[in-house]
Structure 1
Amino acid sequence: MAFVLQFVKILSLVLLAAPFGPEEDRADRAPASEACDEICQQLQAVPDTVVVSRITRALQSPGFEQEFPRLAGVDDRIVRFYEAHGFQPQWIVGTRVSEHADALLQDIRSADQDGLHSEAFRPDRVRRALDRLAQSDSVSAIVDAELELTRAFFQYASTMLTGRVDPQELSSEVYLQPETLRVDSILTALLSAKSDPGFRESLVPRHSHYERLVAALGHYRALEAKGGWAPIPDGETLEPGDEDARVPALRQRLSVTGDLSQVSDLAVTGLPRADWKFDVSVQQALAHFQQRHGLAVDSTLGPATLAALNVSASQRARQIELSLERLRWLPQDPGERYVMVNIPEFRVRGFDRSGPTVDMRVVVGADYGGHQTPVFQENMDHVVINPYWNVPYSIASEEIAPSVRANSNYLASRNFEGVGGSGKVIPASSISAQDIIDGRLRIRQKPGAGNALGLIKFMFPNPHAIYLHDTPADHLFSEPERAFSHGCIRLEDPPGFGEWVLRAQGWDRSRIEQEMGNPERTRVDLDEDIPVYIIYLTAFADEEGVHFRDDIYGNDAVLDQALSKLEEASSR
């Protein structure tokens, strides 16, 4: 009873102190009397029904954005977020703005470091709404600031978690589908934190590549701001020991990107002839540059190396931005153990929580004739030792059938056989080229040393019939660019890769090699699936620095065009 009497007393003070005006256009203000502080704090903890009513109308009434034009474009996820919280404000209590708002704005304004464009999230709109709230206690100001903060978070979080571009809208990346996360649940958890929740840290991909690429982007943007580097003139191929007027320019160029120890900032022309010498320091620096760019490491300044040296700092920075975007398409947490194939790098790595623990060269699909290796992700669930090669119809009809027509012994000499619709095995001698073309049977190659898949394959079932496998054509691994297959991924060291995949099940290299030497086909099901990510990064970073590769399939050009359109629209 005493509490009720005290409540009535305080309420009368509030009503006497409150300014006159439309009931729905004013927010409750703290009473002036210090004597009511304790109960006032209790009252402020009670949801403001007027604000709740206005948020509800803002999100549920068609056309309400005409009254609050800044709220146009609020999507269903934001509605679900507020429905889960009874449409109560989450950023603003009374007229006090949570300290989390400043943390969010700071992270959004720093979004450029992640290769994003901060203006796309309209932090200026949030700032104006907060400034208006600081000057006015109207309900509309509270609701405007509240929903602007939520709108900005949802846009920022969605971009950080899934990227700016939907890869399924790009013909070059159509098979990759970003993970769908509940952004509303993430925001609820972050706002419940008592201190700075670290919005960015909660949203960035957890791949080891990502933060290293962010650092590399900052470095190359700084180089770009300083003017980048001067191109090296064309000329004769330079080799170690040569003397040439272009060597000072080469020294300077290698120094700018850290491949050569920093040289003094001298003009690159008019130097003493002694500085024209292609000496050991230049030789080693050029080899390091070639290694970072996937070139033949011969310490020779030939056409390919010269072209890579003359790619501008701004172009390299853009490559990094494209790779950061692609990493956002992958699950934020790739898993305890996972496999990552980087197509333009021609390498595969197996990762655990400590980093890459297996790393080797691969051969990927050729860049012509529809043989490009697709970009996608699936789960590896079994391994086949001494596999059959079930020949895709396109290869059988376009490549094998003409050979059969020209040589009736072609199938038998290469250990092929047919399989009918009922599963009946058909000997090679009974198969004609027309049988293959008409699809009356499928062609497969028997297990053995001559099998196109080699002696082991690693299966992650997918609609593209792509997998990792052994190969009898191991001479191709010495090539710097290894785009030669029909799409599947050939491994440099299949037993070593198999040991990494199967080690938890008691298999070591010697056991795998022993089974590969047996004629019998063996299937090993994995106790736990391993995620496999087939990705396309022409810029990537590791503990040795940032690396670049050529855009072998033209995918960078497609993504760059899509992002440029978005960036142009956001700058208007």
Structure 2
Amino acid sequence: MQTGVLTPRKVDNQIVRVVPLRDRASYLTSFEKSSPAGFFRSLPPKTGEYARLLKSKQVLERQRAAGGWGAPVPAASLKPGAQGAAVVALRNRLMAMGYLDRSNGQSYDATMQKAVQLFQIHSGLEPDGVAGEGTMKELNRSIDERLRAVVVAMERERWFNMERGERHILVNITDFTAKIVDHDQVTFETRSVVGANKEGQQTPEFSDVMEFMVINPTWNVPRSITVKEYLPMLQRNPNAVGHLRITDARGNVVNRSAINFASYNERNFPFDMKQPPSDGNALGLVKFMFPNQYNIYLHDTPAKNLFSHEVRAYSHGCIRLGQPFDFAYALLAKQTKDPVGFFKARLATKLENSVMLEKPVPVHLIYRTAFTDAKGGLHFRRDIYGRDAKIWQALENAGVALGGERG
């Protein structure tokens, strides 16, 4: 109840979060000093998020017992102005889910469009009010599936039963956002791009502490990218990826013409690759460092077009930020009266420049397909890596079952 049923890494090796386990002897001491009921009430997390998830779970269980949300909408998509049986089914489902007040409307009118928009906002979809294919797929998910997501989110919150920091950075991988949170209030938010759903590229889940930012960064190409992606290209064409420098173990630049790329493979390639600071640098013009064994950090990117996509899983694992400069200003505002001028002055040098944070900031990379907002609204996101499906299966194997018998 306090730190979860499961061991995260045994479920998925990319859930590398360290669970704040308590000393077993402390449980016995607490039990002796309290009533049984009081002891068990003290175990669950005391976060607002856990309390709101518990309340949402209870609501869903009652709805499930009453028969759920009814039949799925029998249409691939619907647009405003449409009429017919599918529109009536859409109306009924939106009412059952709480997005639309009771209505006898027979057409996809402005009121229904607003209800669809609200559903889209709560589902991480483009809020255009059109029940397109993606929206319809999310609308037709069963109450059982949504209830499972909430149960999994509660297990995840138990794993995360720790001090977050008065100021901290929260990256919800499935929500494709990065937020700065001060005293439980979101004070800055930007879109993000996360790791692609490919082996070796998914963004892991863990917490660490941001210590500094690097303005005009050099990109030290990770070994995996160097040998798996760039070496084959160089073997076909030695002049490929010409924007990258090839260096030896001492950091000296090596002339490509002096290298027989065909004589090397993934295991014995002795060189490194770097991209010097520039507007076209893969890390953009700033990166934010919380040194960790997974080589994950937050950074700018020249590929701005990706932030307009609804699903933004494209990186090799690091978190790309849609508004990196504003993110930097928000961090620097705690230690300088002119964060914009401070940042721009160092940017203008075009030289690599590290700036330490006077007060390091905790960073939490989480993965929630169900979460709440401060007003208690329940939000859902796609299980982009399939991790929550694995967690539910493991919970089910451990004896966890959905509550609320169907009517």
**What is the TM-score with the length of structure 2 in the denominator?**
0.90
1:307-318 counterparts in 2 under 5 A?
Answer: 307-318=137-148
Are positions 1:261 and 2:101 aligned together? yes
CA-CA distance at 1:521 after TM superposition: 0.6
Q: How many residues align?
A: 398
CA-CA distance at 1:532 after TM superposition: 1.3
**Aligned position for 2:308:** 478
Instruction: State the alpha-carbon separation in 2 of the partners of residues 286 and 188 from structure 1.
Output: 52
Amino acid paired to 1:522: N
1:518-542 superposed Cα distances (whole Å, 9 cap, x missing partner): 3111111223332211111100110
Instruction: State the alpha-carbon separation in 2 of the partners of residues 568 and 469 from structure 1.
Output: 39
Instruction: State the alpha-carbon separation in 2 of the partners of residues 198 and 511 from structure 1.
Output: 52
**Aligned position for 1:304:** 134
**Aligned position for 1:294:** 124
Distance 1:521-1:311 versus aligned 2 partners, 3 A rule: same
Segments of structure 1 that go 5 or more residues without pairing to the other structure are: 1-158, 265-274
**Aligned position for 1:417:** 245
**Aligned position for 1:373:** 203
Contact 2:73 2:140 in 1 (8 A): no
CA-CA distance at 1:185 after TM superposition: 4.0
Distance 1:556-1:249 versus aligned 2 partners, 3 A rule: same
Instruction: State the alpha-carbon separation in 1 of the partners of residues 122 and 215 from structure 2.
Output: 35
Are positions 1:447 and 2:277 aligned together? yes
Percent of matched pairs sharing the same residue: 38
Root mean square deviation, CA, Å: 2.6
Higher mean displacement: 236-245 or 540-549: 236-245
**Aligned position for 1:562:** 394
Contact 1:358 1:497 in 2 (8 A): yes
Segments of structure 2 that go 5 or more residues without pairing to the other structure are: 402-407
Amino acid paired to 1:547: H
**Aligned position for 1:246:** 86
Distance 1:164-1:353 versus aligned 2 partners, 3 A rule: same
Distance 1:200-1:449 versus aligned 2 partners, 3 A rule: farther
Give the number of the structure whose alpha-carbon radius of gyration is greater: 1
Contact 2:149 2:370 in 1 (8 A): yes
Instruction: State the alpha-carbon separation in 2 of the partners of residues 372 and 436 from structure 1.
Output: 24
**Match for residue 517 of structure 1 among 338, 348, 352:** 348
CA-CA distance at 1:327 after TM superposition: 1.4
Q: Secondary structure at the match of 1:333?
A: coil
Distance 1:505-1:183 versus aligned 2 partners, 3 A rule: farther
1:433-512 counterparts in 2 under 5 A?
Answer: 433-434=261-262, 437=266, 438-506=268-336, 508-512=339-343
**Aligned position for 1:396:** 226
Distance 1:232-1:185 versus aligned 2 partners, 3 A rule: closer
1:305-335 superposed Cα distances (whole Å, 9 cap, x missing partner): 2221111112211101101111111242212
Contact 2:73 2:90 in 1 (8 A): no
**Match for residue 361 of structure 1 among 191, 200, 215:** 191
Higher helix share: 1
Q: Secondary structure at the match of 1:425?
A: coil
**Aligned position for 2:404:** none
**Match for residue 180 of structure 2 among 350, 353, 376:** 350
Instruction: State the alpha-carbon separation in 2 of the partners of residues 497 and 204 from structure 1.
Output: 33
Instruction: State the alpha-carbon separation in 1 of the partners of residues 354 and 152 from structure 2.
Output: 39
Contact 1:347 1:359 in 2 (8 A): yes
Instruction: State the alpha-carbon separation in 2 of the partners of residues 278 and 173 from structure 1.
Output: 43
Instruction: State the alpha-carbon separation in 2 of the partners of residues 526 and 259 from structure 1.
Output: 43
**Aligned position for 1:552:** 384
**Aligned position for 1:341:** 171
**Aligned position for 1:77:** none
1:5-154 counterparts in 2 under 5 A?
Answer: none
Are positions 1:217 and 2:45 aligned together? no
Instruction: State the alpha-carbon separation in 1 of the partners of residues 225 and 135 from structure 2.
Output: 36
